[in-house]
């Protein structure tokens, strides 16, 4: 009986260690995804700055002479601003705190707790 209890204690320690490793791996994966989202936000912000420069250039051209190239500059500036906005929104959505929670590890811990209680599912 003492050997069985000792083995059970060792198995529980191994299980807890493995669960901690799973949580670490999942959090690392989520932080990596958040890093990519930050990159998307930065790319979107850069495009928005470029859009501002194009729109300002279009305004300068509009004030100096009124011709078709001005409307082309405005169209390009608006398009770049739209793409930048979409990238920033996608990055902000991907970096939400809800997306960083270790879901798989939490499910596994719940299963382990149920198993320890004698409620296998």
Give residue-wise pLDDT tens across range 7-41. 877 888 888 888 888 888 888 888 888 888 899 99
> Would 110 be classed as within a structural domain?
no
> Would 117 be classed as within a structural domain?
no
> Would 87 be classed as within a structural domain?
yes
Q: Pick from 23, 20, 24, 43: which is nearest to 94 by CA? A: 43
Helix ranges (H only) for the chain are 2-64, 68-94, 103-117
> How sure is the predictor about 4, in pLDDT bands with cuts at 50, 70 and 90?
confident
Rounded distance, CA 38 to CA 14, Å? Answer: 36
> Would 115 be classed as within a structural domain?
no
Residues of the domain holding 90: 2-102
> Would 118 be classed as within a structural domain?
no
Beta carbons of 44 and 87 less than 8 angstroms apart = yes
Rounded distance, CA 111 to CA 121, Å? Answer: 7
The domain total for the chain is: 1
Rounded distance, CA 59 to CA 94, Å? Answer: 35
> Would 49 be classed as within a structural domain?
yes
Q: Does 52 or 99 have the greater pLDDT score? A: 52
The torsion angles phi and psi of 120, rounded to 5 degrees, stand at -70, 140
Rounded distance, CA 68 to CA 58, Å? Answer: 11
Residues 55-107 have pLDDT tens digits of 878 876 877 766 677 777 777 788 878 888 999 998 888 777 666 667 777 77
> Would 119 be classed as within a structural domain?
no
> Would 66 be classed as within a structural domain?
yes
């Amino acid at each position: 009986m003492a050997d069985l209890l000792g083995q059970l204690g060792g198995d529980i320690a191994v299980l807890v260690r493995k669960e901690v490793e799973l949580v670490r791996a999942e959090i690392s994966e989520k932080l990596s995804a958040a890093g990519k989202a930050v990159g998307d936000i930065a790319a979107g912000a850069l495009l928005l700055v470029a859009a501002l420069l194009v729109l300002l250039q279009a305004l300068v051209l509009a004030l100096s002479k009124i011709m078709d190239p001005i409307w082309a500059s405005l169209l390009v500036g608006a398009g770049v601003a739209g793409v930048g906005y979409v990238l920033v929104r996608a990055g902000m959505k991907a970096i939400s705190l809800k997306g960083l929670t270790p879901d798989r590890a939490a499910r596994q811990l719940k299963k382990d707790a149920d198993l320890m209680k004698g409620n296998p599912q």
